[in-house]
Structure 1
Amino acid sequence: MADRRPKEDCSRRRPVRVAGASGGVFDRFRSLKDLSSDPDIDVIVGDWLGELNMTHRGSQKAKEAQTGDQSQEGSFEVIFVDCLRPALKNIAKNRQKVCANAGATDAKGLAKAVRDMCQAEGVDLKVSWIEGDDVTEAALKMIAAGEEFASLPSDTKLSDWGHEPLFAQCYLGAAGIAEAFRAGADIVLCGRVADASPCVGAAMWWHDWKTDQFTELAHALVAGHLIECSNYVTGGYYSGFKKEVLPACADMGFPIAEIDACGEFIITKEKNSQGIVTPGTCISQMLYEIQGPLYYNSDVTARIDSMKMEAIGENRVKVTNVIGLPPPPTTKVGFTALGGYQAEFHYFLTGLDIEEKAKMVEIQTLASMGEYRKEFHTLKFTVTGSSRPNPRNQNEATVDLRIFAQSRNPEIISAGKNVIVKPETPCFARWCLENCLQGYPGSTMALDMRQAMGKPYFEYWATLIPQSVVEHKVYHFDATVQHIPPPAVTKHYPRQQSSYDTTNPLPADSWGPTRSAPLGHVCMGRSGDKSSDCNVGFFVRNTDEWDWLRSTLSVEKMQDLLGEEYKGGRIDRFEFPHLYAVHFLLRDHLDRGCNASSSYDTLGKNCCEYLRAKHVDIPVAFLERGII
């Protein structure tokens, strides 16, 4: 396949158009087929990995290594193959490139599956793959030598974790992807590269950037961050959805980044599609899953608090002023361990005396467990919702009581077994079930028992590992192997990023009378997880609102707004003055990350919406402009 890069000098080369086709393994099936039908798109990238399936695939690979048994489906994301199949002919016809991290823990196996599929479909596409993210052997040697691998969220030592690491997978950068494209690959398949790395690699290849062009790389890193979650930047998860998105939300377009030779870029979206691209949607995504003013990557560090976003047309936002710095000498690595087994049981409580009814369930269930209570390292009784006074219907009066349990004993939690077992058998589900007839008024349980059947869950330990121990390799389509060295120029950064309250805060009545109202009536935002850290950012639309927002949202105010959700952890704060945004990192706020969490908000995505519902003193003049 011919190289489609323009041959002009760098200053005249047109931007590369990179489309984001997936934000997770569950994203819409149509993306690759439809994006590949647009000949104006140069590269299609996608993210098929997150901590949820990373830990599953990691444990699967560890089990295969221990037993020698190979999974029939491979340790890659099979759904990617199904998504790619209907796009192959368009990709070949339009001479497009594709890069995805769907290789999970078996990029080689995925490459073989894709090659076989290309042959079966009669298309001549060159397939290469990236390896080096599996650092289990190197990490275990370092642990044996005394390396403590401090947790990124909590700073605690690995030796205090209480779990045995089974698998270690690090985040690779973009240099290998760029080299694969330079060598002529049409499809590049990766395991755990950073979410933004496929986009960065595409821009590196297209513009022939060197590894020390940090300004250009930093902009591409931000572009990759904005499109890596697909519709998060085109109207999905957007807190301004009621007026701007809801009228046309059935099938939002996938995002496209147009990255020029200097790195600056424009975010737009798929042609003839629903959804929107505005500074608001872009700011929302920018605030998602960041840890401070420095955005670290294996290839570059982007300083993002100087960044600017500007609407330059309908569904077109230009992003500039990202500062590029050298990457750190380390990269993020995650250890996977079997945490145990978990199950849950649900009761429905209705009407009056909800607190007392829930207490009755707890007393009876604990009495049934007796001495077996000590077999559970996690056992929580949680009421979700509230019964509305003088309800209009029964649903308004009904709440959910969830009994959530985790144990290292698979028998106690009936792992993989039907919950209807012999009465004399100790069993979590039976202890919950047997009290129904001596229960609270209206005692009603959920009839679907599948969640009460124990299943394994995995703990995840996020930390850092030197890039020097990573064996980053490209396996080219022609059977040659290229070693990718660690970055030659790096910079050491403090473990904790700068945190600060605003300078010269102004009182809320500086803009006239105030009224207590939900923060979200004038303020938009986004939140998410990184392991057990929760990040949450807020932004407003007008200059005077910015002065109010930065003055109002201090670290102390955030503690107050969190209410009972605040458990005393560290809160870091910083500002995006050009975006009218304040961002907080709630350190170790989530319950051990999404795989092991006992919370409903396993990914921290609802934290922002909870906080936007809290009341603060807002100038009446802002509220009169129109509630978001």
Structure 2
Amino acid sequence: MKRPIRIGGGSGSSIDRRIGFAQLASGHPDDPVDVIIGDFMSEGNMTTLAAKRAAGGDSQTSYEQTFVNALKLGLEDIARNGIKVIVNAGGTDTERLHKVIVDLVKKRGLALQVAWISGDEVLPVILERSRANPDAFINKHTGETLASWPHTPIYAQCYLGGFGIAAALKHGADIVVCGRVADASPIIGAAAWWHGWDHSHLSELACSLVAGHLIECSTYVTGGNFTGFKRLEKGGRWLNLGYPIAEIGPAGDVVITKRKGTGGVVSVGTCTSQLLYEIQGPWYFNSDVTAILDNIAFTQVAKNRVSVSGIQAAPPPATTKVGITAHGGFHAETYYYIVGLDAEDKARMFEQQARSLFADPSVGSLENFTLLDFQLLGVPAKNPRSQTAATATLRIVAQAKRAEHLGMQKFMRPLMDLIMGAYPGGTVHMDTRMGLPRPIHEYFVTLLDQRDVKHQVHLPNGSVVDIPPPPKTQVFPSQQPSTPRFVSSAPVGAKKSALDIDFRPTIRAPLGAVVHARSGDKGSDANVGFFVEDRDQYKWMRKLLSVDKIIELLGDDYNGQAIDRFELPNILAVHFLLHDHLDRGVSCTSSVDFLGKNVAEYLRAKEVDIPRRFLLGRNVLGKL
């Protein structure tokens, strides 16, 4: 029986540190990895790279150059130690990235074989199917059809599974470059290759899918974006967070660890935090398998070593996710500063002045804006200790279909001209560059039958291998399981159970004094998962955090849309999906929280009635 494969997560995005590949590759022989994966794609750069590809021309680089920079730092160690590399950094031009890597390897004099994956570019089939059937493609977030979408698609990219990667490795590739494979597909592909799995190994594939989700965002599972971050200050553990390693055994057994001798931590808490990130319910879909998460559990088996269990499996859906990009117009923004007293009144005065000026025929901007928003960011401190503490920011955001409608004389200049009649202390940000129009892109998320995808592997010897769709699929309801509130499983009339603990007396305090949380984006949806550190806290939290309570905590930010809720009792978590919470998604949102990462922190700051004994115990997360 083969030993577990060790897969290192060397990059979580195009703006991760460049050192991940080098850090992981240098661990031999005491801390070796067999494969390093890198996740460079997101819904943000998918649209910008799509626009570059659609623009054409040799000057347009529509792959992720950041991968090339990262690979250069560790390439010799990768070659010396026989490490495989798998990345989705091809963006929208994987073939060109393949040529770049082949040239780099040749220039370094290394005997590495490079393969690339195609099939993610699907605009022609999308347009063909839409013309034949106007109802063929439904936006997963808005419910509108592609045929009724008021934008012209310029690019469409689907999410591929991992079996193309497995085939490339089987045929001798050392480096596999991909475009839009799903974030966890490199891990699925590597594990399937190593252990010889095929589509019949659903349980093993589901475990590798979850392992992939845990390490795909690199240091998010080793202490990054973790609400227990203050515990990492001692000993400087929040410095140089180590890149994660997933050990996946032949039966799908998974242990998450990290590069030795680095900062950060791998704990039940960090793994729980990362699991809750970007999921949309208990069914976690991939083109190769569906992981069922209801009974997932984490166990701390040693320092910086967490085992994963309780994952169930189902066949994959017959469809795969597709992101369709279109030109969405232009965006501009600028900032005024508000200091001290009456911040809301000052902001209201300025907004009324600005709207009046934009409506003036001599300016004539208002009718051309598709969006004009005034956002007061922050609140000046009471009795402030410094002027900085007394300062809030008024953000003015505008969008329009044409760039000239946001030109200097139409947007930035009128706002600057208001300064002499503005509120007391009115001060505009002097850097006008963000006030100039920049392109934005609309993003349409839908599903495509996997049989319509031409998934291919381009091997180092020039031959091509076709990857068929999965032989067995399953149809899932469009709505994931959701329970709006905790429902006891105890029969009516049963004796008082452990869930009926009296949690009085209580103290009014921020939810985050006891509760961890993590949030993120999926298109225009935001997801947020809450978790705690012991069973009593969970019994209290699962009762407290209903859909109605989340609506109450959201306050003015609740948009009236549906909210889904499900529980993960083995990891003491409750998860919520906030539909359409993020405006129109990362590519064209008007929110400063364009990735949804701060929804959790906002909700943790809200005050609730917390059992007094929790606040006096050792698990308090922050000072009151």
1:111 aligns with 2:114: no
Within 1, Cα distance between the matches of 2:144 and 2:517?
Answer: 30
Give the superposition deviation at 1:158: 2.6
> Could you tell me which amino acid in structure 2 is paired with residue 532 of structure 1?
S
Give the superposition deviation at 1:508: 8.9
Matched residue of 2:14: which SS?
Answer: coil
Matched residue of 1:263: which SS?
Answer: coil
The sequence identity of aligned pairs, in percent, is 47
1:497 aligns with 2:480: yes
Give the superposition deviation at 1:153: 2.0
Give the superposition deviation at 1:486: 0.6
Equivalent of 2:228 in 225, 236, 240? 240
Matched residue of 1:582: which SS?
Answer: strand
Give the superposition deviation at 1:133: 0.3
Give the superposition deviation at 1:367: 2.0
How do 1:462-501 and structure 2 match up within 5 A?
462-500=445-483, 501=485
Q: Which residue of 1 aligns with 2:342?
A: 353
Q: Which residue of 2 aligns with 1:136?
A: 123
Find runs of 4+ consecutive structure 1 residues off by over 4 angstroms: 505-509
Contact 2:365–2:410 (Cα < 8 Å) also in 1: no
Matched residue of 1:435: which SS?
Answer: helix
Equivalent of 2:50 in 51, 58, 73? 58
1:24 aligns with 2:13: yes
Within 2, Cα distance between the matches of 1:238 and 1:14?
Answer: 31
Within 2, Cα distance between the matches of 1:508 and 1:392?
Answer: 46
Equivalent of 1:408 in 396, 401, 407? 401
Within 1, Cα distance between the matches of 2:500 and 2:229?
Answer: 27
Matched residue of 1:575: which SS?
Answer: strand
Give the superposition deviation at 1:60: 1.4
> Could you tell me which amino acid in structure 2 is paired with residue 325 of structure 1?
A
Q: Which residue of 2 aligns with 1:276?
A: 265
Within 1, Cα distance between the matches of 2:392 and 2:35?
Answer: 48
Give the superposition deviation at 1:302: 0.2
Equivalent of 2:573 in 578, 581, 586? 581
Contact 2:520–2:527 (Cα < 8 Å) also in 1: yes
Q: Which residue of 2 aligns with 1:447?
A: 430
Q: Which residue of 2 aligns with 1:566?
A: 558
Give the superposition deviation at 1:292: 0.5
> Could you tell me which amino acid in structure 1 is paired with residue 203 of structure 2?
T
> Could you tell me which amino acid in structure 1 is paired with residue 402 of structure 2?
N
Q: Which residue of 1 aligns with 2:325?
A: 336
TM-score by length of 1: 0.94
> Could you tell me which amino acid in structure 2 is paired with residue 498 of structure 1?
P
User: Compared with structure 1, are the counterparts of its residues 436 and 507 closer, same or farther at alpha carbon in structure 2 (3 Å cutoff)?
Assistant: farther
Equivalent of 1:215 in 196, 203, 225? 203
1:375 aligns with 2:362: no
> Could you tell me which amino acid in structure 1 is paired with residue 384 of structure 2?
P
> Could you tell me which amino acid in structure 1 is paired with residue 248 of structure 2?
I
Matched residue of 1:339: which SS?
Answer: strand
Q: Which residue of 2 aligns with 1:188?
A: 176
Contact 2:499–2:539 (Cα < 8 Å) also in 1: no
1:530 aligns with 2:522: yes
Q: Which residue of 2 aligns with 1:98?
A: 85
Matched residue of 1:133: which SS?
Answer: coil
Matched residue of 2:156: which SS?
Answer: strand
Q: Which residue of 2 aligns with 1:9?
A: none
> Could you tell me which amino acid in structure 2 is paired with residue 389 of structure 1?
K
Give the superposition deviation at 1:617: 1.4
Give the superposition deviation at 1:443: 1.4
Equivalent of 1:510 in 502, 517, 527? 502
TM-score by length of 2: 0.95
Give the superposition deviation at 1:155: 2.2
Superimposed CA distance per residue, residues 329-364 of structure 1 (whole angstroms, 9 cap, x where no aligned partner): 000000101110010011001112212211221122
Equivalent of 1:389 in 364, 372, 382? 382
RMSD over aligned CA atoms reads 1.4
User: Compared with structure 1, are the counterparts of its residues 306 and 509 closer, same or farther at alpha carbon in structure 2 (3 Å cutoff)?
Assistant: closer
Contact 1:387–1:396 (Cα < 8 Å) also in 2: yes
Contact 2:123–2:156 (Cα < 8 Å) also in 1: yes
Contact 1:231–1:253 (Cα < 8 Å) also in 2: yes
Greater displacement, 148-157 / 560-569:
148-157
User: Compared with structure 1, are the counterparts of its residues 257 and 450 closer, same or farther at alpha carbon in structure 2 (3 Å cutoff)?
Assistant: same
Within 2, Cα distance between the matches of 1:207 and 1:111?
Answer: 26
> Could you tell me which amino acid in structure 2 is paired with residue 469 of structure 1?
D
How do 1:396-435 and structure 2 match up within 5 A?
396-414=389-407, 419=408, 426-435=409-418
Within 2, Cα distance between the matches of 1:181 and 1:507?
Answer: 51
Within 2, Cα distance between the matches of 1:224 and 1:181?
Answer: 17
Give the superposition deviation at 1:507: 8.9
1:77 aligns with 2:69: no
Matched residue of 1:603: which SS?
Answer: coil
Q: Which residue of 2 aligns with 1:7?
A: none
How do 1:540-551 and structure 2 match up within 5 A?
540-551=532-543
Equivalent of 1:604 in 593, 596, 609? 596
Contact 1:343–1:455 (Cα < 8 Å) also in 2: yes
Give the superposition deviation at 1:71: 2.9
> Could you tell me which amino acid in structure 1 is paired with residue 388 of structure 2?
N
Within 2, Cα distance between the matches of 1:302 and 1:265?
Answer: 14
Within 1, Cα distance between the matches of 2:598 and 2:350?
Answer: 27
Contact 1:342–1:455 (Cα < 8 Å) also in 2: yes
Within 2, Cα distance between the matches of 1:16 and 1:509?
Answer: 45
Q: Which residue of 2 aligns with 1:5?
A: none
Contact 1:508–1:552 (Cα < 8 Å) also in 2: no
Q: Which residue of 1 aligns with 2:493?
A: none
Within 1, Cα distance between the matches of 2:366 and 2:542?
Answer: 47
Within 2, Cα distance between the matches of 1:524 and 1:75?
Answer: 38
Contact 2:511–2:607 (Cα < 8 Å) also in 1: yes
Within 1, Cα distance between the matches of 2:82 and 2:341?
Answer: 65
Superimposed CA distance per residue, residues 501-527 of structure 1 (whole angstroms, 9 cap, x where no aligned partner): 221299997133111211111110100
Within 2, Cα distance between the matches of 1:158 and 1:329?
Answer: 20
Contact 1:508–1:619 (Cα < 8 Å) also in 2: no
Greater displacement, 328-337 / 346-355:
346-355
Contact 1:221–1:302 (Cα < 8 Å) also in 2: yes
Give the superposition deviation at 1:156: 2.7
Contact 1:154–1:587 (Cα < 8 Å) also in 2: no
Q: Give the aligned length.
A: 602
